[in-house]
Amino acid sequence: MTQIIRYDEREELIQKVAAKISSALITALDGRETITFAVPGGTTPGPILEKLSEFYLDWARVNVILGDERWVPHSHERSNTRLIMKTLFKNEAKKARFIPMYADFASPEEGILHINKDIEPTLPLSVALLGMGADMHTASLFPGSKNLRLALSKDAPNVIAVSAPGIPEPRVSLTARVLNASQEKHLVFFGVDKK
């Protein structure tokens, strides 16, 4: 069932979405050894993840993966990994296990098999938190991107290399098949340009 909740204030969105995600993670952990939580980069989700990091749950049983990543080292200022380490991996959530979507290969196409080897055993996703760009992309599933048709297909691989006009660096992204298979999905966006 799709439920749309509108929040008028950013702070209310941060507090309530963090609480909903925490509850979803706790429910998903019931009866399972481990679960997988997909998280986005971006400006809107950052404060939500920071708030979520304060919640008490069995974080040691939570695998965290990114919905997408720029093909840059983790220390790069545009790395989603760098952002997640600053926002989510602190407080209680520092006990979670991070599964990176970047490896030291020249291109995403060269690194995909290595990345998928780590991601495959953690699927399906239990909870996915997704953001949305002003161009309506989620993860790195950009309108007009080179591999979009494959990324949206029911036979898509788990992870795909992405390049598109207007994005400065290549990326890797979970595909729509993987994101849609998540037991619970939360799409969060804020701002007049995204209504």
Of 173, 79, 179, 177, the closest CA to residue 126 belongs to: 179
Of 131, 115, 134, the closest CA to residue 123 belongs to: 115
User: Would you say residue 187 has pLDDT above 80?
Assistant: yes
The answer to whether residues 142 and 135 touch, using CB atoms and an 8 Å cutoff, is: yes
Structure tokens that stand for 67 in this block: 């919905």
Element of type H or E holding 177: helix 176-180
Q: How many angstroms separate the CA atoms of 70 and 85, rounded?
A: 15
Q: Which of 135 and 14 is assigned the larger pLDDT?
A: 14
pLDDT of amino acid 135: 72
pLDDT of amino acid 8: 85
What is the DSSP pairing of strand 184-188 with strand 159-162?
A: unpaired
pLDDT of amino acid 54: 98
Q: Where are the domains of the chain?
A: 10-190
The residue behind tokens 């990324």 is 151
> Is the preceding peptide bond at 100 cis, omega within 30 degrees of 0?
no
pLDDT of amino acid 44: 78
Tell me what the mean pLDDT of segment 144-160 comes to.
93
3-state secondary structure of 95: helix
Confidence of residue 3 (pLDDT cuts 50, 70, 90): confident
Q: Tell me the pLDDT tens digit for each residue of 43-60.
A: 779 999 999 999 999 999
3-state secondary structure of 40: coil
Q: Tell me the pLDDT tens digit for each residue of 73-82.
A: 999 999 999 9
pLDDT of amino acid 125: 98
Cα 168 to Cα 20, 130, 151, 181, distances in angstroms: 34, 21, 20, 29
* pTM of the predicted structure, to 2 decimals: 0.94
Please give the mean pLDDT across all residues of the chain. 92
pLDDT of amino acid 142: 84
* Residue 14, number of CB atoms within 10 A of its CB: 22
Confidence of residue 139 (pLDDT cuts 50, 70, 90): confident
The highest-level CATH class for domain 10-190 is alpha beta
